[in-house]
Amino acid sequence: MESHYHYATVSEALAELRQKGFTVDFNLEENCIVCNNDKFNPDEFDIVEVYRYEGDTDPADEATVYGIESKSGVKGVLVTGYGISGDSMSTELLQKLGSRK
């Protein structure tokens, strides 16, 4: 279920997601998302909420905030900057992230 709220800033979105229990920080890696030593492939997590931000004057200010939950119950956030670099990511991961923007 995707959220229908919009927060004015990335910081506000992150604070609200943390209050909702999205407490870990995910990062992108080759063909998965990672948190500490845990790696999750695209079929092992769901994107629960998405917030997209565009800079008023600089396209490089664009960011997307994802609220993610793994099938094992780990809830966290992933923040991506402008133009996710797809060079080292699998097509499956790019499609999962891109389909919810």
Q: Where are the beta strands (DSSP E) in 1-101?
A: 24-25, 27-29, 32-35, 38-40, 45-53, 63-70, 75-81
On whether residue 2 sits in a domain, the answer given is no
Residue 3: is its pLDDT beyond 80?
A: no
Query: What integer pLDDT is reported at residue 90 of this predicted model?
Result: 58
Query: What integer pLDDT is reported at residue 2 of this predicted model?
Result: 47
Q: Residue 4, exposed/middle/buried by CB under 10 A (0-12, 13-18, 19+)? A: exposed
On whether residue 1 sits in a domain, the answer given is no
On whether residue 5 sits in a domain, the answer given is no
On whether residue 82 sits in a domain, the answer given is yes
Predicted TM-score (pTM) of the model is 0.78
On whether residue 100 sits in a domain, the answer given is no
Residue 100: is its pLDDT beyond 70?
A: no
Average pLDDT estimate for 11-22: 94
Number of separate domains in the chain: 1
Residue 10: is its pLDDT beyond 50?
A: yes
CA angle 53, 56, 60 (to 5 degrees): 65
On whether residue 4 sits in a domain, the answer given is no
Q: Which of 65, 93, 60 is nearest to 78 (CA)?
A: 65
pLDDT tens-digit map of 68-92? 999 999 999 998 876 555 445 556 7
Residue 12 tokens, joined: 């506000």
pLDDT tens-digit map of 49-69? 988 887 665 656 678 899 999
Domain that holds residue 19: 10-93
On whether residue 3 sits in a domain, the answer given is no
Average pLDDT estimate for 34-45: 88
Beta bridge partners of 35: 38
On whether residue 85 sits in a domain, the answer given is yes
Question: How many Cβ atoms sit within 10 Å of the Cβ of residue 29?
Answer: 13
